[in-house]
Chain A
Amino acid sequence: MKLQILGTGCAKCKTLTQNTESAVRELGVDASIEKVEDIAAIMKFGVMSTPALVVDGKVAFSGKVASSEEIKGILEGAK
């Protein structure tokens, strides 16, 4: 599974990265986490409010910091 976190490096993006990391660890899924900070790359996903989480190339949500519980739900649904 390929996870991408879209954000220009603000505090919220860091929190989302941490939550995603702990969700991945707790579920024990095999996933790579990549941070996308380039504006043009972010815009390609059609995202206007950061941070956003992209799972296997699809935007799961944008403009919020989801808890690791929420992210676990998303990851389980995407398996």
Chain B
Amino acid sequence: MVGDMETGHTTLSQYLLRAKQAISRTYSGPEKIISEISSIKNHANGNVYIELAEYAGETNERRLIAKVSATVMRSNRRILTEFEKHAGEKLAAGMKVLIEIQTTYQEIWGMSVNIVGIDHKYTMGDMAALVTEIREKLVAEGIYNRNKSRPQPFDYYGIGIIAPSVSAGLEDFNKKLENIPDTVCQKRISHCVFQSDKAGDAIAVLIENMNKSTTSFDAILVIRGGGGKSDLNYLNHERLARQICLSRTPVYVGIGHETDRTILDEVANRSFSTPSMVANFISEHICQRAQDMESFWLDISREAMTRLKDKEGQYRDGWASLCASVTELSNERESRLQAHYHDTMRLSSAYVHKTENELLSINSSLTQGVNRAVSHIEIAANQSWQDCQRQGLRRTELMEGEIQSAMDLLETSINQTQRDLKDNEERERLNREALLAQQKKHRAQLITAGLVVVILMIIILILWGFINE
């Protein structure tokens, strides 16, 4: 063994050379091994990097006992194509495979495991078998799609978060959501281990408690960032998967990396490749709801304003049209009225003229008629006058005769009356004389009677005096 010339100590190259020689002796040629593929990544340089893993224990109690990173060199990629051709699917994480590997060691690059052959007869690995077993049980119980089919919340006012206490992925997650205050969305974080045999039970209990909590959660998020593929096997847990199925609250799973999938991704309401994507989804949903609402309101305001303006325009147009119609109608009526006026004036003038002529004609006729009537009346009157004169003379003559005879008779009567009057006067004188004589006689009788009475009175008075004395 050759050491450093000055100090006598072994150098790094000398030390690693021994390691190289030991590995070269141990792994002298390619060997076939059985392993499970934890992850598989295509690199830009053409190489494909595959993480190989081995687990111990039964379905729910599996634990990782070995893992190593292997490479399919660009020059050897044809083995992947051949595998896909024969197995019917691409080589993927979760598959159990029989591979031929060549292990080498170089002082500068370290140990490298190169995959030089793949037996396509091994297409299913232990991890995939476990997932299949859990899936079949949940399907048989009729709960496999229960959480998946739950309606997504309208918006997020409260979320329960289950995550490891320390995780790069959680920091990313927190950065995305930390700006959203609790007044908008209340966040309750519960920490628990994710890379442990107890992870499945612990997470299941937290989900159960969040469902029983008085705090109303719109979603429960199970998130974990980074980590190796083999660590995910702890999450292929039957109780945990069942609890997610039975959760009344939608469960969102965000477990990195993008190529990592577990049974939780299958049964959860929504599955995301990373915690950051869950945070993005929640925050974008909250913002989108608010923006949608704002947008609806703006649309309504704009539309209402447009419609009101349209109405105003319609009313303005209608008013202008109405004014124009009224003016047009007014002008038309006016011209028609003027035409009527002129027609009427013309007709009335003609009528007046005609009527005047008719009246003049009537007047002339009437004058002639009156004149004729007057002359007839005059003739008739003259004739009547003459008749009257003739009859009057005859009557006068007759009356004169009668009057003469009446005068004679009257004279006779007067004479007779005069004679009667004289007779009566005489008789009257005689009667008057007789009456005067009778009056004298009566007067004498009265005086006598008066004297007697006076005497009697005096006698009575005298007697009365005596009596009183």
Whether A associates with B in a native complex is no
Q: Chain A interface (Cβ within 8 Å of chain B)? A: none
